[in-house]
A and B are shown apart, each in its own frame.
Chain A
Amino acid sequence: MRTFSNALLYGCMIVLAVLWLLPIALVLMNAAKSLEDFTQGNIWALPHSFSLFANMKEALHMGELGRGMLNSFGYSFLGAGISILLAAMAAFGVVILRLKGGFYWFLLIYSGTVFPFQMYLVPLFKGYQQFGIYDTFGGMLLFYVAISIPFCMFLLRNYMTTIPFEVVEAAQMDGFRSFGIFARIIFPLLLPPVSVLMLFQFTWIWNDLVFGLTLSRSESVRPVMAGLASMQGIFFRSGVTTLMAGIVLTSIPTIVLFFSLQRNFIKGMVLTVKS
């Protein structure tokens, strides 16, 4: 009886796992086919050719995905890095230097995540045009920095309150000025939440679609997901194999990050859930 129910459980899990993997298998299969191979068969047929790399190359060039990926690497790395630094400084001022009314400053900065993003689209679009930063790399980067700050602030502030104050006092005794304390004492202690934030913000920025659509237009500025979305419209009829190769390419960075640093993700989730 027991073994029977166990076998049933395994059976269910295996069926579900196959169902879950099927879409990904289809993407890989069709990304590997040559166009000729694809048009002769259907999307469910196994590939008789292997042109994954040729398809990827085509996606990078014809679909202009290469430029989008390059842009997004810049936005994701720089955006996550700068926003973490700014948020760490802000949290340092509030928690360690005990800024007067610090909690209200925290609330002010954190309020950026309370509202749905739709609230920001039109004003930012208009403002960006007014200040001449619409459709520029700097403008996009500035936005990604701004949108990442509230969550970074939230996690870093919570983490900083767990640092014993004696650490700071000891540093003051040793004659450290406030910047020395920040750079040499506190920031190194922040490594666990910073690595989590780096992951979270990198993926958030990499995956963003709506702000990329709204604040940029040209290929040279467009982030990768906005590029992929417009590529879909063009390639769906004539170049499914290229489109699928594009999907593989644009998913590799986040999939690698997720699985190589899975432990950090789980830690980050626990951290977020706890607070």
Chain B
Amino acid sequence: MNAWKKHGAALCYTLPAALIIVAFFITSIAYTLYVSFTDYDGLDSPHWVGFENYARLFQDMTYITSLKNTLIWVVATLVFPVGLGLLFSVMLQRIKGQRLFKNIFYLPYAMSLTVVGVIWVLLFSRTGINFVLTQVGLDKLALDWLNTPPYNTYAMIVASIWQGTGTNMLLFLIGLGSLPKEPFEAAAIDGAGRARTFWNITLPLLNPITIVVLGMSLVNSFKIFDIIWVMTMGGPYRSSETLAVTMYRESFVIFHFGQGAAISIVLTVISIAVSWFYLRQTIVKEA
């Protein structure tokens, strides 16, 4: 009796949060899974169509472009914001006035992706970077950035690099600050140069934090939406969509709920598979 009472009390505390999660998210997942096998358009009742929505993803050029763009975003996010973050942190480590520089690079991260998108729309407009390019006589380089595929995707990646490098830099700085001193002293005594010290000592010691930074960037890069929605809305002619944007357009612009649901399932499967594979690899490596 007493045990039950105790258990009941514990349940009273945990249940509200659990119920909200089930009501909002667990049921949503089940519903999305179901809708992805139907032709639901929000008006007529849904008909079962099997894997039709999924098959279309790998036939229609629109979706293949979207898949390709997602891949470009993922690779670029893993290379640039992470690589630059590491580079900045290493450079900053040996500099006076580190705080000032740190804050400058971190500043864009304190703004929302929506705001960042609006700023870079201005920069990539006729009056932005192109104005400077024409002034210095480089007219040929002055493209209509956001309307010319594939440059529109690259342009938006630049905006996201500007925003995201700061956090990675901060995480690397925390990592660098907590490294042991002895290996570096030993390397200095052995007369190892800066480059060799970096490759052979700093990077391996930094591995745990690198894994975290890469993992976080990876997971986020699959879901990129805000910047694209603000800067191009996935256009022109759906040339700069990623899976997240395609999903939104299918569902809420042209009301192909079934197709949109199938895309979100594919997105989920890809991102969970990749994170799982990545986690397993790193765990095996660590062990």
The answer, yes or no, to whether B73 is at the interface (CB within 8 Å) is: no
Kindly identify which residue among A116, A122, A266 contacts B251, using a CB–CB cutoff of 8 Å. Answer: A122
The answer, yes or no, to whether B10 is at the interface (CB within 8 Å) is: yes
Check if A16 sits within 8 Å of B111, measured CB to CB: no
The answer, yes or no, to whether B91 is at the interface (CB within 8 Å) is: yes
Check if A16 sits within 8 Å of B112, measured CB to CB: no
The answer, yes or no, to whether B27 is at the interface (CB within 8 Å) is: yes
The answer, yes or no, to whether B264 is at the interface (CB within 8 Å) is: yes
When distances are taken between beta carbons in the complex, the residues of chain A under 8 Å from B32 are 119-120, 122-123
Q: Given known contacts A26-B123, A124-B24, A210-B248, is B17 in contact with A87 (CB within 8 Å)?
A: yes
When distances are taken between beta carbons in the complex, the residues of chain A under 8 Å from B115 are 225, 228, 247, 250-251
Query: How far is A111 from B128 in the complex, measured between Cα atoms in Å?
Result: 44
The answer, yes or no, to whether B7 is at the interface (CB within 8 Å) is: yes
- What total of A-B pairs shows CB separation below 8 Å? 240
The answer, yes or no, to whether B45 is at the interface (CB within 8 Å) is: no
Check if B18 sits within 8 Å of A108, measured CB to CB: yes
The answer, yes or no, to whether B52 is at the interface (CB within 8 Å) is: no
Check if B271 sits within 8 Å of A116, measured CB to CB: yes
Nearest B residue to A30 via CB reads: B122
Q: Given known contacts A120-B28, A232-B121, is B95 in contact with A10 (CB within 8 Å)?
A: yes
The answer, yes or no, to whether B234 is at the interface (CB within 8 Å) is: no
Q: How far is the CB of A274 from chain B (nearest CB, A)?
A: 9
Check if A116 sits within 8 Å of B268, measured CB to CB: yes
Residue among A16, A102, A124 with most chain B CB within 10 A: A16
Query: How far is A164 from B243 in the complex, measured between Cα atoms in Å?
Result: 46
Give A29-53 as 1s and 0s: 1 = Cβ < 8 Å from B's Cβ atoms: 0100000000000111000000000
Q: How far is the CB of B229 from chain A (nearest CB, A)?
A: 7
Q: How many residues of B contact A (CB 8 A)?
A: 84
Interface residues of chain A: helix, strand, loop or mixed (majority) = helix
Check if B122 sits within 8 Å of A240, measured CB to CB: yes
Q: How far is the CB of A93 from chain B (nearest CB, A)?
A: 3
Query: How far is A236 from B260 in the complex, measured between Cα atoms in Å?
Result: 30
Q: Given known contacts A44-B131, A117-B223, is B92 in contact with A27 (CB within 8 Å)?
A: no
Nearest A residue to B272 via CB reads: A114
Nearest B residue to A232 via CB reads: B118
Chain A interface: which of B59-67, B100-108, B136-144, B195-203? B100-108
Kindly identify which residue among A43, A116, A117 contacts B131, using a CB–CB cutoff of 8 Å. Answer: A43
Q: How far is the CB of B223 from chain A (nearest CB, A)?
A: 5
Q: Given known contacts A112-B25, A116-B222, is B244 in contact with A149 (CB within 8 Å)?
A: no
Kindly identify which residue among A9, A98, A109, A270 contacts B21, using a CB–CB cutoff of 8 Å. Answer: A109
When distances are taken between beta carbons in the complex, the residues of chain A under 8 Å from B92 are 13
Q: How far is the CB of B159 from chain A (nearest CB, A)?
A: 9
Check if B248 sits within 8 Å of A121, measured CB to CB: yes
Would you give 23 A-B contacts (Cβ < 8 Å), ordered by A? Answer: A13-B95, A21-B107, A86-B17, A97-B9, A98-B10, A109-B14, A116-B222, A118-B243, A119-B29, A119-B265, A122-B251, A122-B261, A127-B28, A213-B229, A229-B114, A232-B230, A247-B119, A251-B111, A258-B106, A258-B109, A259-B110, A266-B170, A273-B209
**Top-5 shortest CB links A-B:** A93-B13, A93-B14, A97-B10, A207-B112, A90-B17
